[in-house]
């Protein structure tokens, strides 16, 4: 009985010592406004900043200029920037993109399935995926500056 208890305790300690499994970013394929298909896993080997947003979200609109400035500063050379519009019609997204002079990639999640796979509680939500496809950080709510985006990336 003592040996059985010792084995049970040893197996419990081994189980507790295991590292938690890394949270891989759920893979997806979505279309851009131009109708091109983009698959997240195609970007393995390069970090990805993934931003979920909607057109009727003031916080999303607030952070758009900071994301655009980050993108314009050459972010695409170091980090792949993908933004995912959740649930809006393509024509309305195109109007938004035009009015905000957005030039970074915008993917359409018209049914909200990708947002659901990521378990986002609302928008905006920004995920940071490493070169292996593992979610290393996320931010709920809008960025307050381009420098804040760079700071998060530098910390990773």
Give tens-digit pLDDT for 21-52. Answer: 668 999 999 999 999 999 999 999 999 999 99
CB 123 within 8 A of CB 34: no
Tell whether the model's pLDDT for residue 19 goes beyond 80. no
Which position has the token pair 């609109």? 61
* Residue 114 in domain: yes
125 or 5, which is more confident:
125
Span of 55-59, 77-81, 93-97 with lowest mean pLDDT: 77-81
* Residue 93 in domain: yes
* Residue 2 in domain: no
* Residue 103 in domain: yes
* Alpha helices by DSSP H, the chain: 2-17, 58-70, 76-78, 90-99, 113-118, 146-155
Check residue 45 and give left, alpha or beta (phi > 0: left; psi -120 to 50: alpha).
left
CB 101 within 8 A of CB 17: no
Q: How many domains does the chain have?
A: 1
Residue-number span of the structural domain to which 45 is assigned:
23-155
Q: What is the CATH number of the domain that holds 113?
A: 3.40.30.10
- Strand ordering across the sheet containing 37-39: 37-39, 29-32, 106-109, 80-86, 48-53, 125-129, 135-140
* Residue 70 in domain: yes
- Confidence at residue 132, expressed as pLDDT on a 0 to 100 scale: 94
- What percent helix, strand, coil does the chain show, rounded to 5? 45, 25, 35
Whole-prediction pTM:
0.83
């Amino acid at each position: 009985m003592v040996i059985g208890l010792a084995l049970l305790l040893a197996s419990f300690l081994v189980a507790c010592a295991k590292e938690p499994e890394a949270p891989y970013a759920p893979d997806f394929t979505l279309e851009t406004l131009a109708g091109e298909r983009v698959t997240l896993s195609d970007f393995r080997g390069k970090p990805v900043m993934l931003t979920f947003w909607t057109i009727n979200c003031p916080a999303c609109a607030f952070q758009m200029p900071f994301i655009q400035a980050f993108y314009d500063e050459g972010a695409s050379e170091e980090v792949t920037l993908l933004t995912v519009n959740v649930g809006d019609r393509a024509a309305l997204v195109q109007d938004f993109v035009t009015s905000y002079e957005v030039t970074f990639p915008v993917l359409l999640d018209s049914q909200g399935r990708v947002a659901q796979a990521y378990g986002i509680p609302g928008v905006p939500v920004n995920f940071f995926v490493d070169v292996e496809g593992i979610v290393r950080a996320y931010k709920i709510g809008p960025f307050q500056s381009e420098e804040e985006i760079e700071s998060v990336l530098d910390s990773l």
